[in-house]
Amino acid sequence: MNKKKYIIKYSIIAGIVVICVLLDQITKIVAEANLKEYQSVEIIKGFFDFTLCYNTGGAWSILSNATWLLALISVVALGFMIYTLIKTNSLFYMISASVFCGGLIGNLIDRLFNVGVVDFLDFNIFGYDFPVFNVADTFIVISAILIAVSMILEDKKETKKVEVKEEENGKDTSREGK
């Protein structure tokens, strides 16, 4: 990779990560400044509230009070994602993984410097009171889905390349196994 492409690639990654972390942290600061713990403010009746709470666990409060274990898992996941970002040439994957990293870092900051992860988005969906979550959680979930889509699309692309190459070499794989 030439120097200019290298600078552009890592500037895009860093920019996306920083924007995601800032959006997450700013929304958490606003929530903490305007809500008391467990106080709910109704936004859309029977569907959406702002409710401030602190989660010392993972999703759905799994591993509550295991802050250092969850922080370690986050650091390992972040390291893995950085490794994949270095290796990728896919813009779609790069953007998705950068958003994922931003979400991980946003929640990691809370785990290290707060009493727990600051959660405040509270939805009641079809009668199910969904666990309260935050912007970083949204980034993580949406980008994880997009990463999976990216991997599926990349796999299909690679499969197509192999099929074309085999056809060029005179080998027809469509009839194998019949």
Q: For residue range 91-142, list pLDDT tens digits in order.
A: 999 999 999 999 999 999 999 998 899 999 999 998 898 999 999 999 999 9
- Residue 38 covered by a domain: yes
Is residue 173 situated within a structural domain?
A: no
Q: What is the mean pLDDT of residues 149-170?
A: 76
Number of domains composing the chain: 1
In a domain, residue 129? The reply is yes
Per-residue pLDDT, averaged over 168-177, amounts to: 61
- Across the chain, mean pLDDT equals 89
Q: Which residues are catalytic?
A: 119, 137
| Tens of pLDDT, residues 13-72 | 999 999 999 999 999 999 999 999 999 999 999 999 999 999 988 777 777 777 889 999
pLDDT at 174 over 80: no
pLDDT at 2: 87
Q: What are the structure tokens assigned to 163, written together? A: 């099929």
- Contact (Cβ atoms closer than 8 angstroms) between residue 104 and residue 140: yes
Q: How confident is the model at residue 171 (pLDDT cuts 50, 70, 90)?
A: low
**Token pair for 133:** 């979550």
177: in domain = no
Residue 154 within any structural domain of the chain: yes
- Domain coverage including residue 134: 3-168
Residue 178 lies in a domain: no
Residue 68: per-residue pLDDT: 86
Distances (CA, A) of 27 to 50, 72, 100, 120, 134: 11, 24, 17, 9, 8
In a domain, 47, yes or no: yes
pLDDT of 173 over the 60 cut: no
CA distances (Å), origin 119, targets 36, 43, 61, 66: 12, 16, 11, 17
